[in-house]
């Protein structure tokens, strides 16, 4: 990992890929690194991330500091790759494990090549997707999750997203492990929910790792602790 040698170099632009820890928000990561930068360089540094990951997701989070913050729209727009654990036979209001898990009682179809092709092909290409109500999407100027937490009904607008690749990896009990390459704005939680609806048994997202953001990969990303240690050395 290359740490900028001085404040001028940092302000000229620094881009770093980190592995977001489980349970952290993307803002938690930015705040930790921002504070470490301020301590090291003695100045408040402009820094942001290029694409939110939910707290229960881990993986690639691109951080841009100094004038590199101008490149954030580029990284937001680039393709993302994920490995998802889709748990069949139950649903949740949030489409992931952050809310109560409700078994559907519907039979879970046995995996087969034919089922795999039928289900996967339905979601390849440009599709209409409805984001989860527990999301940061704004509806009539208000965050959907804030309205949902107050028990209000939220009419979520659909959005067009693109699934470039949807590859089955393996089964683990009642879960499918799938690799997804998609456009910006894609909610993997919604994709998991919709896969379960298509199979008639329900599903929710039980685990998620973002493995790539454009050219940045998880294998080449640093842990947050590595970054903090390097900045405090």
CA dihedral 56, 201, 129, 99 (to 10 degrees): -30
Q: Supply 201's token pair.
A: 């048994």
Choosing from 54, 77, 96, 140, which is the catalytic residue? 54
Tell me, yes or no, if 54 is annotated catalytic: yes
The DSSP bridge pattern shows strands 57-65 and 203-213 to be parallel
Q: Which of 43, 49, 11, 58 is nearest to 30 (CA)?
A: 49
CA dihedral 191, 218, 16, 231 (to 10 degrees): 120
The DSSP bridge pattern shows strands 102-103 and 90-91 to be antiparallel
DSSP assignment letter at 28? H
Where in the sequence numbering do the catalytic residues fall?
A: 54
């Amino acid at each position: 990992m290359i740490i900028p040698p001085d404040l001028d170099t940092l302000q000229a632009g620094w881009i770093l890929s980190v592995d977001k820890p489980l349970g952290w928000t993307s803002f938690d990561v930015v705040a930790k690194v921002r504070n470490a930068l301020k301590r090291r360089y003695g100045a408040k540094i402009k820094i942001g991330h290029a694409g939110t990951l939910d707290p229960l997701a881990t993986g690639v989070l691109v951080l841009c500091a100094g004038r590199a913050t101008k490149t954030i729209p580029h990284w937001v727009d680039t393709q993302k790759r994920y490995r998802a654990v889709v748990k069949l036979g139950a649903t949740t209001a949030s489409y992931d494990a952050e809310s109560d898990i409700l078994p559907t009682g519907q039979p879970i179809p046995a995996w087969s090549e034919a089922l795999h092709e039928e289900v996967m092909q339905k979601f390849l290409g440009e599709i209409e997707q409805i984001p989860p109500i527990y999301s940061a999407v704004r509806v009539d100027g208000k965050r959907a999750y804030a309205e949902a937490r107050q028990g209000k009904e939220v009419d979520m607008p659909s959005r067009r997203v693109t699934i470039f690749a949807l590859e089955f990896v393996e089964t683990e009990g009642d879960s499918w492990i799938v690799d997804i390459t998609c456009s910006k704005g894609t909610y993997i939680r919604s994709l998991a929910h919709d896969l379960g609806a298509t199979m008639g048994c329900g599903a929710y997202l039980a685990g998620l790792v973002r493995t790539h953001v454009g050219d940045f990969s998880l294998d080449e990303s640093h842990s947050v602790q590595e970054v903090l240690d390097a900045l405090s050395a």
